[in-house]
A and B are shown apart, each in its own frame.
Chain A
Amino acid sequence: MQVGIGLPNTVPARGRGALLEWARRAEAAGFSTLAVLDRLRYDSVDPFITLAAAAAVTERIGLATMIAIGPLRSPGVLAKQAQSLHEVSGGRFTLGLGIGARHDDYAAAGVDPSTRGAALSTQLAHLRGGGLSSVDILVGGSSGTALARMARYANGYAHGGGPPRAFASAATQARAAWYDHGRPGSPVLWGQGYLALSEPERGQDYLRDYYAFTGPFADKIAAGALTSARAIKDYVRGYAEAGCDELILFPTTLDLADLDRLAEAL
């Protein structure tokens, strides 16, 4: 299993300096991938623009959306953005896609949220039908339909985070979906988690704010943040045992010390 790290593109008060320095340090520390989140209405930097900037200041590290909310963009625009990012980064991009959970993002994009699942399928069919042939695609989501979509169109599965046992159960279902679609081998499995090492309370406040739209679940997500080296070790071991191929740990503050402490803990 490889371990990647998130860029703080949705953490408020970040700026050019914070994002670029984070990208450089992540590459220097040997992480496999830099990943970003996607939200339209939250105070954040666009995922593709963030990764393009990161591509310019790094050479080796992989770049991924984990995930981008596909239907907010038209199939053609999404394919162009992904293909462009893949090209300017020298072939380092992995496109993770999902439908997201926020209706206000859809309202802001002028897209009907009630058909977002079908819209994502259309988008994936376009990308796979020649719109984007060279980029690996991951699909997220926990419903059977989402897993079927993943198995039909994607190279792998992007899990939404949670304790290792939740990942293991989703991984079994992703493999079953893959098998059900007659795909050889297994899907590539990506997992994720949140870090809040140096300033745990501040990080958890951010998570409660970022996930406020989920109501009572925001507290649970905040409680799941990894706040110690010990918690990171357990989490990483649990994910590796469950068959995760790439684990992305996202920051919840701009504190670069978290990046260093994560690198030490591994």
Chain B
Amino acid sequence: MDVSILGAGPAGLYLAILLRKAGHTVAVHERNAPDATFGWGVVFSEETLGALHDADPPTHLEITDSFARWSRIDIRYRGEVVRSSGHSFTAIARRHLLAILRARATELGADLRFGSELEEPPQADLRVAADGANSKTRQRHFRARVSPQGCKYVWFGTDLVLDAFTFAFRETEYGLFQAHAYPFDERTSTWIVECAQGVWERAGLDTATEEESIAFCERLFAEDLGGARLRSNRSLWLDFPLVRTPSWHKRNLVLLGDAAHTAHFSIGSGTKLAMEDSIALAASLATEPTLDAALTDYELRRQPVVERFQQAAAESAGYFSRTAHYTSYEPIQFAVNLLTRSGRVTHANLAQRDPRLIRRIDSWFAGRAIAAPPVFAPFGELPNRLVAEVSTPDEVAARVADGYGLVLAGPVEVDSASPADWRGAVALKADTRLGLRLTHRGARAGAPCVAASPIPYGPFAPVPTEVSDLDAVLRAFAEHAADAAEAGFDLLELDMADGHLLAGFRSPLTNQRTDEWGDRHKFPLAVLDAVRAAFPRTLAVRLAVTDWAPGGTSVADGIAFAKELRAHGTDLVHVRAGHTLPDFRPDYQRGYLTTLSDRVRNEAGIPTLVGGYLTTLDEVNTVVAAGRADLCVLAEAP
């Protein structure tokens, strides 16, 4: 078969090598000169190395001969260095990697044509576009979504030879800067500097020259660099382009590597994914009977892997864009939050890789040397971080026996039931604390019902009457709160979620009042004040942080409202989202409420309780140790 490849990056060259070995005729077309490479070092995992070994032992040997290897991550933050060991990284100079691949491709008889300015791969039996994240071929022939992801960043090199993957954080008058740095040969390390758009502009970097940017970053990280210089290689400030392409091939044209998909640099997987694409494509071409079948097979094999990495990369990029909110953390918790950012590393993984670090976080978390995992650390008066929700008094005893820190009972509807119904359960609680949720179901109560405005909860649902006697509702909440205090409950949860009455007042989707209660915060806060006055112990608010619906409340609205809740004496926010009206737009990924909880906790400055279908103690340990929530509802997996 006659194959034309556009782009002599790692993906294109590696594919050329593998296809030459399979006996195909291969031409590689590259716009730039052979040594005009950009970027410094690239990172690989052990798993990728294994795949490279199987695919082409000679290049594997050369690559591993010149690899930098290390097993530690240093997190430099607030004048401390938290060191985590037991990891496994390898990196190589991108320039050197390309030289090895070029030499091998040439040796195998691939036709490498540099300085060849093309818009797409020329005619051949198979045309491969490996022309990078800004692929012209993709723009011409494929539907793709490209959007900026994460912060502003710039890619430098430095003469400093690091012995660990290093994350360095520096506060400035403009905001927080962070560096991602790692060694890649015996003389040089990669040093990527990153900051939020606003920070970048305030620091004047949007108008700075390349030399000025280097000077700024050298001053900023002077202590971390220990006198070493930063070096430029067309080092411009960039937005990371997130590329997602639903389909990677069309007739005999196929996308490879960054041309098809990118993964944020903070998980260091771009080159790895690109070279694994080459291996998969070569394998599919070898095993499938037709070109069509091979390209389909390649796509079927690679897309799920790429999606997993893109999901992790999105979590990681999101974390690095929020770091300014974590600067009140102690260094050890800051480090654990960083290490577990993408969801790929958990408390349990770290306990295996780096037991010393886990002992340190556990004992820091518990405030004493002999410590159980974070889930078993007390929180205020609660003996641990686990919460169970029960809807009948009979379930309380079982959950107490299971050892939950908090059993959250209810809901009790203020217009129809009484906390006294749960009095028997209060007697059972032992060490476990018992909470009660107070609600008014509003538009979801069934006919007849009342709500902020006459908007039914979905099709065929009863149309609620606009509630007029707000004082009566407020008094009912306050009286029930007093009854709950009298009955001996340790915690009261006020329901402002799930499309119930108070949530309905807070959302523009369901509050269209023109009277004073059209101020959407006013009635929920009035009820909160009355309940706060009547209940002396811990007061939680179950909050729909966002409606997850067009025209509804945003995450930023929810965080702003959580600050008001705190100012009005709320002790804890139970994070919920959606359900304001039935057809909302959730994303039920694992831990789907965790990032919302993280944002409320760290941006509104209030403790949080989160559910979101967390089914394992490892998830709970990770969430609470990283400071993403204080308490977790543990769900039962099937």
Contacts of B292 in A (CB 8 A): 219
Instruction: Check A122 against B613 for contact (C-beta < 8 Å).
Output: no
Q: A148 interface residue, CB < 8 Å from B?
A: yes
Instruction: Check B458 against A220 for contact (C-beta < 8 Å).
Output: no
Give the CA-CA distance A220 to B588 in the complex, in Å: 25
Instruction: Check B583 against A144 for contact (C-beta < 8 Å).
Output: no
Q: A42 interface residue, CB < 8 Å from B?
A: no
Instruction: Check A223 against B296 for contact (C-beta < 8 Å).
Output: yes
CB nearest to A179 among chain B residues: B613
Known contacts A125-B461, A179-B613; decide if A144 and B588 are in contact (CB<8 Å). yes
The digit string for B433-446, where 1 denotes a CB below 8 A from any CB of A, is 00000000000000
Instruction: Check A216 against B588 for contact (C-beta < 8 Å).
Output: no
Instruction: Check A215 against B588 for contact (C-beta < 8 Å).
Output: no
Q: B589 interface residue, CB < 8 Å from A?
A: yes
Give the CA-CA distance A121 to B461 in the complex, in Å: 12
Distance to closest chain A CB from B458 (angstroms) = 6
Instruction: Check B249 against A179 for contact (C-beta < 8 Å).
Output: no
Distance to closest chain A CB from B216 (angstroms) = 42
Known contacts A180-B613, A216-B249; decide if A125 and B588 are in contact (CB<8 Å). no
Contacts of A177 in B (CB 8 A): 586, 588
Contacts of A217 in B (CB 8 A): 247
Give the CA-CA distance A16 to B295 in the complex, in Å: 39
Q: B638 interface residue, CB < 8 Å from A?
A: yes
Instruction: Check B587 against A216 for contact (C-beta < 8 Å).
Output: no
Which of A148, A174, A186, A224 lies at the interface centre, i.e. has the most chain B CB atoms within 10 A of its CB? A148
A220-256 interface with B by 8 A CB criterion = 220, 222-224, 243
Give the CA-CA distance A163 to B304 in the complex, in Å: 10
Known contacts A166-B304, A224-B300; decide if A117 and B583 are in contact (CB<8 Å). yes
Q: B578 interface residue, CB < 8 Å from A?
A: yes
Contacts of B583 in A (CB 8 A): 117-118, 121, 145, 148-149
B622-638 interface with A by 8 A CB criterion = 635, 637-638
Q: B533 interface residue, CB < 8 Å from A?
A: no
Contacts of B300 in A (CB 8 A): 163, 220, 223-224
Distance to closest chain A CB from B286 (angstroms) = 16
Give the CA-CA distance A47 to B258 in the complex, in Å: 44
The digit string for A127-168, where 1 denotes a CB below 8 A from any CB of B, is 001000000000000011101110010000000000101100
Give the CA-CA distance A126 to B459 in the complex, in Å: 8
Give the CA-CA distance A143 to B247 in the complex, in Å: 18
B225-257 interface with A by 8 A CB criterion = 246-247, 249-250
Contacts of B584 in A (CB 8 A): 145, 148
Give the CA-CA distance A152 to B579 in the complex, in Å: 10
Give the CA-CA distance A216 to B296 in the complex, in Å: 9
Q: B299 interface residue, CB < 8 Å from A?
A: yes
Give the CA-CA distance A223 to B292 in the complex, in Å: 10
Q: A2 interface residue, CB < 8 Å from B?
A: no
Contacts of A39 in B (CB 8 A): none
Q: Contact residue range for chain A?
A: 35 or more
CB nearest to A169 among chain B residues: B304
CB nearest to A147 among chain B residues: B588
Distance to closest chain A CB from B392 (angstroms) = 11
Q: A74 interface residue, CB < 8 Å from B?
A: no
Q: Is chain B's interface secondary structure helix, strand, loop, or mixed overall? A: loop
Instruction: Check B582 against A216 for contact (C-beta < 8 Å).
Output: no
Q: Is chain A's interface secondary structure helix, strand, loop, or mixed overall? A: helix
Contacts of A144 in B (CB 8 A): 548, 585-588
Q: A86 interface residue, CB < 8 Å from B?
A: no
Give the CA-CA distance A147 to B589 in the complex, in Å: 11
Contacts of B250 in A (CB 8 A): 216
Q: A18 interface residue, CB < 8 Å from B?
A: no
Known contacts A175-B613, A177-B586, A180-B613; decide if A125 and B578 are in contact (CB<8 Å). no
Give the CA-CA distance A143 to B584 in the complex, in Å: 11
Q: A58 interface residue, CB < 8 Å from B?
A: no
Distance to closest chain B CB from A196 (angstroms) = 14
Distance to closest chain B CB from A254 (angstroms) = 24
Q: B9 interface residue, CB < 8 Å from A?
A: no
Instruction: Check B586 against A186 for contact (C-beta < 8 Å).
Output: no
Q: B297 interface residue, CB < 8 Å from A?
A: yes
Contact among B296, B299, B592, B638 for A186, CB-based, below 8 A: B638
Give the CA-CA distance A243 to B638 in the complex, in Å: 9
Contacts of B461 in A (CB 8 A): 125
CB nearest to B549 among chain A residues: A145
Give the CA-CA distance A186 to B615 in the complex, in Å: 13
CB nearest to A123 among chain B residues: B459
Q: A84 interface residue, CB < 8 Å from B?
A: no
A91-129 interface with B by 8 A CB criterion = 117-118, 121-122, 125-126, 129
Instruction: Check A121 against B297 for contact (C-beta < 8 Å).
Output: no
Contacts of B578 in A (CB 8 A): 148, 180
Contacts of B246 in A (CB 8 A): 216
CB nearest to A122 among chain B residues: B459
Give the CA-CA distance A165 to B583 in the complex, in Å: 27
Known contacts A117-B583, A172-B590; decide if A125 and B297 are in contact (CB<8 Å). no
Q: B208 interface residue, CB < 8 Å from A?
A: no
Contacts of B295 in A (CB 8 A): 219
Instruction: Check A180 against B247 for contact (C-beta < 8 Å).
Output: no
Contacts of B612 in A (CB 8 A): 176, 180
CB nearest to A184 among chain B residues: B391
Give the CA-CA distance A118 to B587 in the complex, in Å: 18
Give the CA-CA distance A66 to B612 in the complex, in Å: 29
Give the CA-CA distance A174 to B637 in the complex, in Å: 12
Contacts of B526 in A (CB 8 A): none
Contacts of A222 in B (CB 8 A): 296
Q: A173 interface residue, CB < 8 Å from B?
A: yes
The digit string for B498-511, where 1 denotes a CB below 8 A from any CB of A, is 00000000000000
Distance to closest chain B CB from A250 (angstroms) = 19
Give the CA-CA distance A118 to B246 in the complex, in Å: 25
Known contacts A125-B460, A224-B300; decide if A176 and B592 are in contact (CB<8 Å). yes
Contacts of A129 in B (CB 8 A): 460
Q: B293 interface residue, CB < 8 Å from A?
A: yes
Give the CA-CA distance A224 to B300 in the complex, in Å: 9
Instruction: Check A121 against B613 for contact (C-beta < 8 Å).
Output: no
Contacts of A152 in B (CB 8 A): 582
Contacts of A163 in B (CB 8 A): 300, 304
B432-476 interface with A by 8 A CB criterion = 458-461
CB nearest to B548 among chain A residues: A144
Distance to closest chain B CB from A71 (angstroms) = 13
Give the CA-CA distance A148 to B246 in the complex, in Å: 24
Contacts of B587 in A (CB 8 A): 144
Give the CA-CA distance A223 to B290 in the complex, in Å: 12
Contacts of B249 in A (CB 8 A): 216
Contacts of B458 in A (CB 8 A): 121, 125
CB nearest to A152 among chain B residues: B582
The digit string for A181-196, where 1 denotes a CB below 8 A from any CB of B, is 1000110000000000
27 A–B contacts from the bound complex (CB under 8 Å): A121-B459, A125-B458, A126-B459, A144-B585, A144-B586, A148-B578, A148-B582, A148-B584, A148-B586, A149-B583, A163-B300, A163-B304, A166-B304, A172-B590, A176-B613, A179-B613, A180-B578, A180-B586, A180-B588, A180-B592, A215-B247, A216-B246, A217-B247, A219-B293, A223-B293, A223-B297, A223-B300
Interface pairs A-B: 4 shortest CB-CB = A216-B247, A176-B613, A144-B586, A173-B588
